[in-house]
Amino acid sequence: MSSRFRAAVTAVVALVAVAGFTGVASALTLSISPGGAITGTSTNSNFRASGINITCTVNLIGTLVTSVDNTAGRSLGSITSGTATPCTGGSALVLANPAWNVSLTNAVPLPLSGVTSTGLTISGVGFLVDIPATALRCLYGGTIRATLTGTGGIPNRTTGITVSSQSVPLVANLSARTCPPIGTFSATFSIPTQTISG
């Protein structure tokens, strides 16, 4: 192999490597629009445990980032307050101080075309549930998983967030009776449409 040919091959390889690295770098950043302040609403939020079955309309208020590294564990935003009313079967209080953190469970598959869901991890979740009929007052909290759904198009637009039967452990028993050691939370939230590109 001549030195001129080797030099040409080396130059081509270097260009391909640079182009590939540039493509990967841009693909590792997701853009979210409009982001910022956001409210998620669920009319079917349900919390169940032994002797507990509460269904509420829940509004969660927080903020979304406008760009994020497409890497597992990266924060997408936070939930800073919320309400749970009206309820049937008892009452519930959303505890979001400190704030709940919402992050990517895994990197989002790229390209975004055809991607209709991605996993979310929500940490710091807290609910205080009251059941006057049985004198139960129980605080539950921890980390749950959720699914962000989208249209699967380009650009990809969000369609909502689903929480499917997530276990939430007891944090504190605030009643004379014994609270169940674990409960199950499920809900479907509508959110303002976000456009995601990457």
Quote the pLDDT of residue 62. Answer: 98
- The structural domain count of the chain equals 1
Longest dimension (CA), the chain: 89
Q: How confident is the model at residue 70 (pLDDT cuts 50, 70, 90)?
A: very high
Q: Quick one: how far is CA 112 from the chain centroid?
A: 18
Find the range with the poorest average confidence among 26-40, 48-62, 120-134.
Answer: 26-40
Q: How confident is the model at residue 28 (pLDDT cuts 50, 70, 90)?
A: confident
- Interval 172-181: pLDDT, tens: 999 999 999 9
User: Amino acid letter at 165?
Assistant: S
Find the range with the poorest average confidence among 12-16, 117-121, 181-185.
Answer: 12-16
6 located within any domain: no
- 105, 135 contact by CB (below 8 A): no
- Asked if residue 22 has pLDDT above 70, the reply is no
Please tell me whether the peptide bond between 98 and the residue prior to it is cis, using omega within 30 degrees of 0. Answer: yes
Give me the domain span that covers residue 158: 30-197
Closest CA to 78 of 68, 65, 63: 63
1-23: average pLDDT: 35
**Prediction pTM value:** 0.84
- Asked if residue 84 has pLDDT above 60, the reply is yes
Quote the pLDDT of residue 16. Answer: 31
167 located within any domain: yes
8 located within any domain: no
- Interval 135-156: pLDDT, tens: 999 999 999 999 999 999 988 9
- Asked if residue 110 has pLDDT above 90, the reply is no
What does the chain come to in residues? 198
50 located within any domain: yes
Quote the pLDDT of residue 26. Answer: 36
Query: For residue 83, what is the enclosing H or E element?
Result: strand 75-88
* Token output for 187: 């809900």
Q: How confident is the model at residue 198 (pLDDT cuts 50, 70, 90)?
A: confident
Of all residues in the chain, the percent with pLDDT exceeding 90 is 81
* Token output for 152: 């699967």
